[in-house]
Amino acid sequence: MIDLDSPVVAVLGDHKKKREAIEEKLGLRTVGDLLHHFPRRYVKTGELTRIDELHEGDVLTVVGQIASSNLATYKDRRTGRPAYRVDVTVRTDGPSFRISMFAKNEKVGRWQQQQRMPVGRRGIFLGKVSSFRGEWQLTHPQVVLFGTPDEDAAQLSLDAIGEFYPIYPLTKGVDSWDLQRAVAFALTVLEDVPDVVPEAVRRQYDLLDVRTALERVHNPHDQGEISSAQRRFRFEEALVTQLVLAKRRRVLREQGARARTGDQGGLLAAFDERLPFELTDGQREIGARLEEDLAQPHPMNRLLQGEVGSGKTVVALRAMLRVVDSGGQAALLAPTEVLAQQHHRSITALLGDLATGGMLGGAADATNVELLTGSMTKAQRTGPMSRIATGEAGIVIGTHALLEEKVIFADLGLVVVDEQHRFGVEQRAALTDKAGTPPHVLVMTATPIPRTVAMTVFGDLETSTLTELPAGRAPIQTNVVALAERPTWFGRVWERVREEVGKGHQAYVVCPRITGDEQEQGESDQLDLDEDGDVMPAASPAGGLAAVEEVAVQLAEGPLAGLRVEKLHGRMPPDEKDRVMRAFAAGEIDVLVSTTVIEVGVDVANATAMVLLDAERFGVSQLHQLRGRVGRGGLPGLCLLVSHAEPGSPARDRLDAVAATTDGFELSRVDLEQRREGDVLGKSQSGYRSGLQNLRVLRDEKTILQAREAANALLDADPRLRQAPDLAAEVARLEESVQSGFMEKS
Residue 178 · residue 160 · CB < 8 Å: no
Between 573 and 612, how does the x/- string for binding to ligand ADP read (CB under 6 A)? ----------------------------x-x---------
Q: Which residue is nearest to Mg ion (CB)?
A: 601
Q: Give residues 457-476 in contact with ligand ADP (rule: CB under 6 A).
A: 470
Nearer to ligand ADP, 280 or 662 (CB): 280
Q: Give residues 114-143 in contact with ligand ADP (rule: CB under 6 A).
A: none
Nearer to ligand ADP, 218 or 632 (CB): 632
| Span near ligand ADP by CB under 6 A; candidates 80-88, 306-314, 574-582, 702-710 | 306-314
Mapped to the 3 state alphabet, what secondary structure does 444-482 carry?
EECCCCCHHHHHHHHCCCEEEEECCCCCCCCCEEEEEEE
Residue 598 · residue 626 · CB < 8 Å: yes
Nearer to Mg ion, 601 or 631 (CB): 601
Is 411 in a helix, a strand, or coil? coil
How far is 400 from 386, CA to CA, in rounded Å?
A: 18
| Span near Mg ion by CB under 5 A; candidates 37-45, 101-109, 475-483, 594-602 | 594-602
How far is 583 from 590, CA to CA, in rounded Å?
A: 10
Q: Is the dihedral of CA 456, 462, 466, 467 positive or negative?
A: positive
Interacting residue with ligand ADP among 109, 220, 311, 533 (CB under 6 A): 311
How far is 665 from 673, CA to CA, in rounded Å?
A: 12
CB of 284 to ligand ADP, least distance (A): 9
Question: Which of Mg ion, ligand ADP, none binds 470 (CB below 5-8 Å, type-dependent)?
Answer: ligand ADP
How far is 474 from 581, CA to CA, in rounded Å?
A: 23
Question: Which of Mg ion, ligand ADP, none binds 277 (CB below 5-8 Å, type-dependent)?
Answer: ligand ADP
346-363 burial string, b = 16+ CB within 10 Å, else e?
Answer: bbbebbeebbbbeeeeeb
Nearer to ligand ADP, 113 or 280 (CB): 280
Dihedral over alpha carbons 494, 589, 476, 664 (to 10 degrees): 120
CB of 603 to ligand ADP, least distance (A): 5
CB of 626 to ligand ADP, least distance (A): 12
Q: For the chain, how long is the longest CA-to-CA vector?
A: 94
Q: How many residues bind Mg ion (CB under 5 A)?
A: 1
Q: Which residue is nearest to ligand ADP (CB)?
A: 311
| Span near Mg ion by CB under 5 A; candidates 165-173, 351-359, 601-609, 663-671 | 601-609
Q: Count of CB atoms within 10 A of residue 464's CB?
A: 20
Interacting residue with ligand ADP among 308, 371, 511, 548 (CB under 6 A): 308
Q: Give residues 433-452 in contact with ligand ADP (rule: CB under 6 A).
A: 446
**142-148 long-range CB contacts below 8 Å, 24 or more apart?**
142/167, 142/532, 142/534, 143/116, 143/117, 143/534, 144/170, 144/175, 144/176, 144/177, 145/121, 145/175, 145/177, 146/121, 146/122, 146/175, 146/177, 147/175, 147/177, 147/178
Q: Which distant-in-sequence residues (6+ apart) come within 8 Å of 244 by Cβ?
A: 688, 691, 731, 734, 735, 738
| Span near ligand ADP by CB under 6 A; candidates 29-37, 63-71, 310-318, 611-619 | 310-318
Dihedral over alpha carbons 295, 296, 302, 308 (to 10 degrees): -10
Between 275 and 304, how does the x/- string for binding to ligand ADP read (CB under 6 A)? --xxxx--x---------------------
Question: For the chain, what's the residue count?
Answer: 746
CB of 430 to ligand ADP, least distance (A): 23
* 305 phi-psi bin (left φ>0, alpha ψ -120 to 50, beta other): beta
Nearer to ligand ADP, 119 or 279 (CB): 279
Instruction: Answer yes or no whether residue 309 interacts with ligand ADP by CB under 6 A.
Output: yes
How far is 725 from 200, CA to CA, in rounded Å?
A: 14
Nearer to ligand ADP, 219 or 310 (CB): 310
173-198 burial string, b = 16+ CB within 10 Å, else e?
Answer: bbbbbbbbbbbebbbeebeebebbbb
Q: How many residues bind ligand ADP (CB under 6 A)?
A: 17
Q: Which distant-in-sequence residues (6+ apart) come within 8 Å of 644 by Cβ?
A: 78, 483, 484, 540, 614, 616
| Span near ligand ADP by CB under 6 A; candidates 309-317, 368-376, 449-457, 706-714 | 309-317
Task: Read off the DSSP letter of residue 537.
Answer: P
| Span near Mg ion by CB under 5 A; candidates 34-42, 361-369, 454-462, 595-603 | 595-603
What are the strands, taking DSSP E only, across 110-182? 122-132, 135-145, 164-167
Q: Count of CB atoms within 10 A of residue 204's CB?
A: 13
Interacting residue with Mg ion among 601, 637, 664, 691 (CB under 5 A): 601
CB of 409 to Mg ion, least distance (A): 23
Residue in 47, 42, 48, 179 with CA at minimum distance from that of residue 123: 48
Nearer to ligand ADP, 279 or 698 (CB): 279
Nearer to ligand ADP, 283 or 540 (CB): 283
CB of 338 to ligand ADP, least distance (A): 14
CB of 359 to ligand ADP, least distance (A): 24
Nearer to Mg ion, 123 or 601 (CB): 601
How far is 496 from 555, CA to CA, in rounded Å?
A: 13
| Span near ligand ADP by CB under 6 A; candidates 12-20, 258-266, 271-279, 320-328 | 271-279
Nearer to Mg ion, 242 or 305 (CB): 305
CB of 308 to Mg ion, least distance (A): 7
Distances in Å between the Cα of 147 and the Cα atoms of 65, 151, 224 are 13, 10, 29
Instruction: Answer yes or no whether residue 312 interacts with ligand ADP by CB under 6 A.
Output: yes
Nearer to Mg ion, 384 or 601 (CB): 601
Question: Which of Mg ion, ligand ADP, none binds 280 (CB below 5-8 Å, type-dependent)?
Answer: ligand ADP
Query: Can you give the binding site for ligand ADP, defined by CB under 6 A?
Result: 277-280, 283, 306, 308-314, 446, 470, 601, 603
Query: Can you give the binding site for Mg ion, defined by CB under 5 A?
Result: 601
